[in-house]
Amino acid sequence: MKDNGNLFLPPGHSTIAPGTDALFDFIYYTSIVFFAIVVFVIVYSVWRFRPWGFKGYLRLFIIPKDALEIKVTGQRWFWSFDYPDGATSVNDLVVPVGKPVKLLMSSKDVIHSFFVPSFRIKMDVLPNRYTMTWFEATDTGAYDLFCTEYCGAKHSSMIGKVRVVGEREYAQWLESSSKAGEGMPVEDYGAKLYAQKACITCHSVDGKASTGPTFLGLFGEQVKLEGGGTATVDENYLRESILSPQARIALGYQPVMPTFQGVLKDKQIDALIAYIKSLKESGSK
């Protein structure tokens, strides 16, 4: 039998050629049949389910006009939240139940991603750009929130809770947050901030070195610095390290601390310094 070849091969001139061409043709035409079936199902689904997917997309991306706007900042390795009347929180997002909440998000360093599985919302958080998402919580309670984009060594500590509370409780929380630390010994307020503002992620208070130096026995020490020289850990060094962490880095540590400029108020920095001071003698190194 003469083999005339096909679109892909020249005419065959050996005993093997006809069998090879037959197998080739079989695979080729079978593929065309399945390709046609798959494309038909795709086109049909796009047409058949268009009210579903398209409306869902619009609901997700059109933010209600009356939404409460909260600014979300991601940075290595914590979340901070700014509320309309000046209250702030770290890793804990407090919102009222049954009200649309708009999140206006940006990053101070690398790409993070804001994910609340219970609300089915996930949105990348980028440096130099705002991204947005919104939700309306239907039930009070505490729901997990995650960073879901690998952003460095402590990515897995970049977690928190969305606390959904009643309208009245939300108003009370806003008020107490603006009065936080009043009528409290300053070291105790510092201890509270140490946990609340996520210092705890990188600084221990039990003498163990972590991503950053331990706070235990730190105050008053002479520390060697990256790039040579020493510094005495006093109030000014601590303040500088909180606001401009890259200025004088303790020897042996990476320059990974984010600035807390704009995250901590002066009063809160004072309280943290008082807390670190109080850890001076409370234990052996």
Least CB distance to ligand CUA at residue 147 (A): 3
* CA separation for the pair 215, 231 (Å, rounded): 15
Least CB distance to ligand CUA at residue 74 (A): 6
Of the pair 35, 150, the CB lying nearest ligand CUA is at: 150
CA 164 to chain centre: 19
Q: Is 263 left (phi over 0), alpha (psi -120 to 50) or beta?
A: alpha
The residue with tokens 């940075």 is 75
Least CB distance to ligand CUA at residue 75 (A): 8
Of the pair 154, 248, the CB lying nearest ligand CUA is at: 154
Least CB distance to ligand CUA at residue 150 (A): 6
CA 135 to chain centre: 17
Least CB distance to ligand CUA at residue 140 (A): 27
Of the pair 158, 279, the CB lying nearest ligand CUA is at: 158
Residues at the interface with ligand CUA (CB under 6 A): 74, 112, 147, 149-151, 155, 158
Of the pair 158, 273, the CB lying nearest ligand CUA is at: 158
Least CB distance to ligand CUA at residue 72 (A): 12
Of the pair 95, 151, the CB lying nearest ligand CUA is at: 151
Rounded to a whole number of angstroms, the distance between the first and last alpha carbons of the chain is 92
Of the pair 115, 119, the CB lying nearest ligand CUA is at: 115
Contacts 24+ apart (CB under 8 A), 150-156: 151/74, 151/76, 151/77, 151/109, 151/110, 151/111, 151/112, 152/76, 152/77, 152/110, 152/256, 153/77, 153/211, 153/256, 154/76, 154/77, 154/201, 154/202, 154/211, 155/77
